[in-house]
Amino acid sequence: MGRGERDVVAGGARLYAAAQAVGDDHGRVVEAVRAALKPMLDEAVGRELDAIPVARLQDVTEGRLRLGNVEKSGLRTVGQVLEAGPYRLRQIPGVGQRTVDQMLAAARRLSEAAHETVAVHIDVDRPEPRTTALVLALHVLVEAGPDARRAVDAAAGLSRRLGPLLADARPAAGRFRMLLAGRDNKARALAAVAEIRALVEEAEQAGLPELFAQASVDLLRGPSTDVAAWVDFELRSAEYYSLLAELSGGVPDAAKAEGFLPDDIAEHVRSQHLDDSHRRVSLRGYQEFGARFALARRKVILGDEMGLGKTIQAIAALTHLAAEGHSHFLVVCPASVLVNWTREIEARSTLRGMLLHGPDRHDAFADWKGRGGVGVTTFDALRGFPAPGGGEVGMLVVDEAHSVKNPKAKRSQAVALWAERCERALFMTGTPMENRVAEFRNLVGMLDPGLAESLGERDALAGSVAFRKAVAPVYLRRNQEDVLTELPSLQQIDEWEELSAPDEEAYREAVRAGNFMAMRRAAYLRPEQSAKLNRLREIVQEAGENGQKTVVFSNFKDVLGVVREALEASPGGTPVFGPLTGSVPAGQRQRVVDDFTAVAGPAVLLAQIQAAGVGLNMQAASVVVICEPQIKPTIEHQAVARAHRMGQVRSVRVHRLLATGGVDERLVKMLENKTRLFDAYARRSAVAEATPDAVDVSDTEIARRIVEEEQARLGTTDEQDEQDGQGE
């Protein structure tokens, strides 16, 4: 037995210690979260049990209990029964020990059920010591990110394999131990050394020692300050709530999270492995199931309601396929979400996103064909690209797939050809399809012609359950109320749009004139081809199809006028109220809001952001659209708070419409670093909440700087124009 074997055992022991350390470090952080969560969870469960009448205990015991004397004694809720305990219950006349035992057992079952279903909500506008402690504990895990989870999982697997091998190899750790070991122990030790050597080499090739070391550093670092943790929570609340749901055990009902799929299909999907090595974001359980569904079923429609993260699920499927060796993927979507897709791909994965759009799209397509990556293009541009041969494209993703429901349209035919040629296809739509069997059949026909032929109107007439069963092989839909029990009630989405040619022309004219306010609203001056307006229509239409009301905010009256004309001209007939502007008397503003609220079903309310941002309650709306970024972020916060407030029963989605490459991008970048931490304090100030103008971020200076920088970037100063004119 030589030094080589001893070195192998020592190396294995070091790797095992590092793996154990990662697990221990992660365990301490998880325990800190659970310790911070417990009092809040107990309080929430207590409120739940205090709302359940004692009579419910009869339901749990199938009517075996007689509770008349218990109620007469003053114990009227399940919570009060548990608090009373066995001694006090036994003192109630006519209540014997057997009844006490049955009553407490039933009450504990209800308590256990409440612990599994109750949700703890974190109020960002009213932080308190308990919620701050929870956010701080969660912040460590969120900051550590998916790499820490990957490290913990890898460490657990490695520990399970290395531990027994190191025990068997113990005689090989020393020369004398080996001499004293018997023949069987020596043979076992040598075999273990060989396996340890292979495991260590495998781990080093996978970079596990470095992964473990970095994870331990991240898990031990801790949050910097309370304010930093709260600000990060606002920016990444979905990730915080995802971890909270996982650690609290408050997961949604499995059948709901799996879209009520039949057992055989659900089991097939569950067995699908999901590789996360190229992914930079954690998934909620229902999102993991959605990605697995797309992979296991190969050609599917993901019909989740808006706000459930269909894009993230698609990226998870793409990164899994990339880990398996696929190199080419294509996303087809409306022009209004092109930029969003490329940004999400870059932010959420290690994959390379490539824009296949604009005058150079054919050159970009050739580059994508040669180098690979995730090509992102529009329905119209797709028609000009040659369809692939079999096996070239790992997955075709079609966003807003209801846009290709007409089989006679050229865009639909192009998508159908690509879907046929690609091994996997993922169609995504937030529009419910249950009552649109003819349209749905057309989409299914691109993915599974046989299933499409078997679908008939009777499936819809028989109701949602029959429809879901008939289309289960290709269709998965989940609703917010089924899977977002722990998600925060506010989701903020930046909608980055690429200006159309007319938009760009109007913007250049505003820059040339040095008119900052005109630059801010230039994206709406040519409504026929306005990229922002097109996206706004899509958001309102999808919200309406899901039965949701929308509030649209803008700083500018003329922008609201353009929006009103566009929405009233759109098919569907969604009622439009407003606009609420500074010229509308305060009393009349509330009447407009009341009329908007009274509408049964979808409706749109238009409001000037400063006129409607104070004093009005718009909680009937669950979708908010902000037409342009505001110079003072507090104005946005206050406007959003009109919808996102007590009494709002659905989560609120806020869509900020932003244009790339101009005043919007400069405003966002200039303000985000300067005001986020300050705003985290200001929003918690009663004075700042009441008077948003008290937050001074130097409007005039910001406007001047942006105008000068944009004139320099576009070469549109007055001097430049004069020189250009003299040269002609």
Q: Fold match between 253-483 and 490-723?
A: yes
Superfamily of structural domain 253-483: Tandem AAA-ATPase domain (3.40.50.10810)
Does the N-terminal peptide bond of residue 388 adopt cis geometry, omega within 30 degrees of 0?
Answer: no
The two beta strands, 395-398 and 328-333, are parallel
| 215-to-133, 247, 399 alpha-carbon distances in Å | 22, 19, 35
CATH number 3.40.50.300 is the correct assignment for the domain at 490-723? yes
pLDDT in tens, 224-233: 788 888 888 8
Which tokens is 142 given? 């969120």
The single-letter code of the amino acid at 610 is Q
Closest CA to 215 of 25, 17, 16: 25
**pTM tops 0.85:** no
With tokens 């006349």, the residue in question is 93
- Who's near 668: CB < 8 A, 6+ residues apart? 494, 629, 658
Whether residue 460 is predicted with pLDDT greater than 60 in this model: the reply is no
Residue 420 sits at the vertex; the CA angle it makes with 414 and 421, to the nearest 5 degrees, is 95
Give the integer Cα–Cα distance in Å for 336 and 365: 20
* 200 neighbors 15 (Cβ within 8 angstroms): yes
Give the integer Cα–Cα distance in Å for 477 and 428: 10
Strand order in the sheet with 299-302: 353-355, 373-378, 328-333, 395-398, 425-428, 299-302, 475-476
Q: How confident is the model at residue 726 (pLDDT cuts 50, 70, 90)?
A: very low
Q: How many residues does the chain have?
A: 728
Residue 725: the pLDDT is: 39
pLDDT in tens, 244-273: 877 876 556 788 889 889 999 999 999 999
pLDDT in tens, 620-634: 788 999 999 988 766
Give the integer Cα–Cα distance in Å for 92 and 517: 74
Query: 493-526 burial string, b = 16+ CB within 10 Å, else e?
Result: ebbbbbbbebbbebbbebbbebebebbbbbbbbb
pLDDT in tens, 669-718: 876 654 443 333 333 333 333 333 333 445 788 888 899 999 999 887 65
* 373 neighbors 354 (Cβ within 8 angstroms): yes
Closest CA to 68 of 41, 95, 101: 95
Sign of the CA dihedral running 371, 372, 376, 377: positive
Q: How confident is the model at residue 346 (pLDDT cuts 50, 70, 90)?
A: very high
**Least confident stretch, 26-30, 161-165, 251-255, 659-663:** 251-255
Delimit the domains of the chain by residue range. Answer: 1-250, 253-483, 490-723
| 306-to-137, 224, 233, 543 alpha-carbon distances in Å | 30, 34, 21, 8
pLDDT in tens, 58-100: 776 666 677 888 888 899 899 999 999 999 999 999 888 988 8
Give the integer Cα–Cα distance in Å for 508 and 656: 22
